[in-house]
């Protein structure tokens, strides 16, 4: 079966492509990307006025299955991903049970295959039950299909354990993703420590709680030669540390979430618990530094940290509500609205942070429209305006800080391996 995506503007940063072209897909693979391809009996998708890119890759999602299927399942999460233009997502291990062994890893892969929306790549735990004590069976999980390890949400506090984890992960070719946070320095914190936490009487987390661990990880990466990826980088100081490390040739990559580059801690003033996440929304100066780091390439990827929570759990007192927000279905709209339409970051660079750069960071064979590559493709309308209505989400959860926002930029259709997994309703 052949499909032609015709008349779009093709942006493929993996090959430096940006221009009008048609794409021919056959047997799940990209056959050719050229101007003026003949339809010749293929199904035609009219992409005129739209942008055609490699399928987006999200290095950081929480799919909640196994264990908390009332918040999200692998199927609902993968479907939400497809609706957001993501064809590959990396699922964090903090499920119940924790993905700290090959059987959980296999379970996730099987479930994702059944659902057959976006591809799901499991991230294994660094330590058993993410307790930060004994190393998890990284080699087994790698063989079962895990592409990286992380104790996301439960950062490894013990420097020696982290050192051994990096050395061991390196042996098995696994990237180590770290949620950088000194749990002592940030103890009890529910938002960024700054003028707004003081105004609101809420306990703050000082940026140094993140930055001191970023610094530690960079030094350990240098020591061990392991690949370290800093999850959801959020402060000016963290960005500076990563920039300096890269200048010294240390192998460290990082990602930023849409909520961190679109919002600041000022949003907390209404005590809406959908502004509560970890790391917290930071100051306006931090937000500026993140945008600058996206422009200069210090930040590799945009990742959502999609963290579904049920309404009943989220509708608690601000200091008792769980951290986290959903993000898969708003990521593109928020990125284009906050970065592209505001004139801050070029469209090509935004696409790169959603495709080629995350693929490179985790050595994934996707994020490109090269002939022969799997036909993972996202088509979006960069100008279409829409209003965020959480009840329309494919995700099982509604906890978004962007409820009611008017966004500019919407996904039109998504293909995974040549199969259309999402198509937007006609406006």
What's the rounded Cα separation, in Å, for the pair 21 and 391? Answer: 36
- Asked if 238 touches other proteins (CB under 8 A), the answer is no
- Asked if 201 touches other proteins (CB under 8 A), the answer is yes
In this structure, how many other beta carbons lie within 10 angstroms of the beta carbon of residue 373? 17
Q: Which of 3, 47, 174, 202 binds other proteins (CB under 8 A)?
A: 202
Residue 127 DSSP label: B
- Asked if 194 touches other proteins (CB under 8 A), the answer is yes
SS3 category, 155: coil
Shortest separation between residue 101's beta carbon and other proteins, angstroms: 31
Shortest separation between residue 399's beta carbon and other proteins, angstroms: 13
Residue that has been written with the tokens 């240390």 in this structure: 250
Candidates 154-162, 198-206, 227-235, 330-338; binding stretch for other proteins (CB under 8 A): 198-206
Candidates 63-71, 122-130, 196-204, 326-334; binding stretch for other proteins (CB under 8 A): 196-204
Q: In what order do the strands lie in the sheet with 175-178?
A: 56-61, 86-91, 119-124, 148-150, 175-178, 228-230, 252-256, 301-302
Shortest separation between residue 186's beta carbon and other proteins, angstroms: 13
Residue 263 DSSP label: -
Compare residues 28 and 237 and give the one whose CB is closer to other proteins.
237
SS3 category, 334: helix
- Asked if 317 touches other proteins (CB under 8 A), the answer is yes
Burial degree of 144 (CB within 10 A; 0-12, 13-18, 19+): buried
Compare residues 202 and 410 and give the one whose CB is closer to other proteins.
202
**Strand 17-26 relative to strand 406-416, pairing:** unpaired
Sorted by sequence, the CB contacts under 8 Å of residue 120 that are 6+ apart come out as 63, 74, 77, 78, 88, 89, 90, 91, 108, 109, 111, 112
Shortest separation between residue 268's beta carbon and other proteins, angstroms: 9
- Asked if 336 touches other proteins (CB under 8 A), the answer is no
Q: Which of 36, 48, 247, 312 binds other proteins (CB under 8 A)?
A: 312
Q: Which of 1, 39, 199, 284 binds other proteins (CB under 8 A)?
A: 199
Total residues contacting other proteins by CB under 8 A comes to 21
User: Which sequence positions are flagged as catalytic?
Assistant: 305
Compare residues 96 and 113 and give the one whose CB is closer to other proteins.
96
Candidates 290-298, 306-314, 348-356, 400-408; binding stretch for other proteins (CB under 8 A): 306-314
Compose the 267-296 pattern: x for residues touching other proteins by CB under 8 A, - for all others: ---xx-------------------------
Compare residues 76 and 197 and give the one whose CB is closer to other proteins.
197
Residue 135 DSSP label: B
- Asked if 313 touches other proteins (CB under 8 A), the answer is yes
Shortest separation between residue 72's beta carbon and other proteins, angstroms: 19
- Asked if 323 touches other proteins (CB under 8 A), the answer is no
Contact 11, 347 (CB under 8 A): yes
Q: Which of 320, 342, 383, 387 binds other proteins (CB under 8 A)?
A: 320
Compare residues 116 and 206 and give the one whose CB is closer to other proteins.
206
124: nearest Cα among 177, 75, 76: 177
Compare residues 1 and 187 and give the one whose CB is closer to other proteins.
187
Shortest separation between residue 426's beta carbon and other proteins, angstroms: 35
DSSP for 270-308 reads: G--GGG--SSPP--HHHHHHHHHHHHTTSS-EE---B--
Shortest separation between residue 201's beta carbon and other proteins, angstroms: 3
- Asked if 316 touches other proteins (CB under 8 A), the answer is yes
Candidates 194-202, 217-225, 230-238, 300-308; binding stretch for other proteins (CB under 8 A): 194-202
Shortest separation between residue 321's beta carbon and other proteins, angstroms: 9
Helices (H) and strands (E) in the chain, counts: 13, 18
- Asked if 358 touches other proteins (CB under 8 A), the answer is no
DSSP for 11-56 reads: EETTTTEEEEEEEEEETTEEEEEETT---TT-EEEE-TTSEEEEPE
Tokens standing for residue 402:
């962007």
Compare residues 1 and 199 and give the one whose CB is closer to other proteins.
199
| Cα dist from 392 to 6, 80, 329, 388, 412, whole Å | 29, 10, 10, 8, 15
Sorted by sequence, the CB contacts under 8 Å of residue 176 that are 6+ apart come out as 126, 148, 149, 150, 165, 166, 169, 226, 227, 228, 229
Q: Which of 2, 319, 344, 348 binds other proteins (CB under 8 A)?
A: 319
| Cα dist from 379 to 39, 54, 82, whole Å | 18, 9, 11
List contacts with other proteins (CB under 8 A).
Answer: 193-195, 197-202, 204, 270-271, 311-313, 315-320
């Amino acid at each position: 079966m052949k499909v032609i995506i015709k008349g779009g503007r093709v942006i493929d940063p993996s090959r430096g492509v940006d221009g009008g072209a048609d794409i021919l897909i056959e047997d799940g693979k990209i056959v050719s990307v050229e101007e003026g391809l003949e339809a010749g009996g293929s199904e035609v998708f009219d992409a005129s006025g739209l942008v055609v890119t490699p399928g987006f890759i999200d290095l950081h999602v929480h799919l909640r299955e196994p264990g908390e299927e009332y918040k999200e399942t692998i199927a609902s999460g993968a479907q939400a991903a497809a609706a957001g233009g993501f064809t590959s997502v990396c699922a964090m291990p903090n499920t119940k049970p924790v993905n700290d062994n090959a059987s959980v890893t296999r379970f996730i892969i099987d479930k994702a295959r059944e659902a057959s929306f976006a591809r799901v790549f499991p991230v294994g735990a660094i330590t058993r039950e993410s307790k930060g004590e004994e190393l998890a069976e990284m080699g087994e999980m790698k063989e079962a299909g895990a592409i990286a390890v992380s104790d996301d949400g439960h950062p490894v506090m013990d420097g020696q354990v982290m050192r051994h984890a990096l050395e061991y992960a390196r042996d098995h070719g696994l990237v180590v993703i770290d949620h950088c946070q000194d749990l002592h320095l940030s103890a009890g914190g529910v938002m960024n420590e700054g003028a707004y936490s003081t105004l609101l009487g809420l306990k703050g987390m000082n940026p140094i709680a993140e930055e001191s661990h970023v610094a530690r990880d960079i030094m350990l990466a240098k020591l061990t030669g392991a690949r370290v990826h800093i999850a959801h980088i959020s402060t000016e100081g963290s960005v500076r540390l990563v920039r300096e490390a890269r200048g010294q040739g240390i192998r460290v990559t990082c990602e930023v979430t849409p909520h961190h580059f679109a919002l600041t801690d000022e949003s907390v003033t209404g005590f809406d618990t959908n502004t509560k996440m970890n790391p917290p929304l930071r100051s306006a100066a931090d937000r500026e530094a993140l945008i600058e780091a996206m422009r200069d390439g210090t930040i590799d990827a945009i990742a959502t940290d999609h963290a579904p929570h049920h309404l009943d759990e989220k509708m608690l007192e601000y200091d008792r509500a769980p951290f986290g927000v959903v993000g898969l279905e708003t990521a593109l709209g928020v990125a284009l609205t906050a970065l592209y339409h505001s004139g801050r970051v070029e469209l090509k660079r935004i696409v790169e942070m959603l495709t080629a750069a995350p693929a490179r960071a985790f050595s994934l064979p996707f994020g490109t429209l090269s002939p022969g590559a799997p036909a993972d493709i996202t088509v979006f309308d960069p100008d279409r305006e829409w209003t965020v209505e959480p009840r329309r989400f494919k995700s099982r959860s509604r906890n978004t800080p962007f409820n009611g926002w008017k966004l500019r930029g919407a996904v039109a259709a998504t293909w995974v391996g040549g199969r259309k997994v999402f198509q937007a309703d006609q406006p």
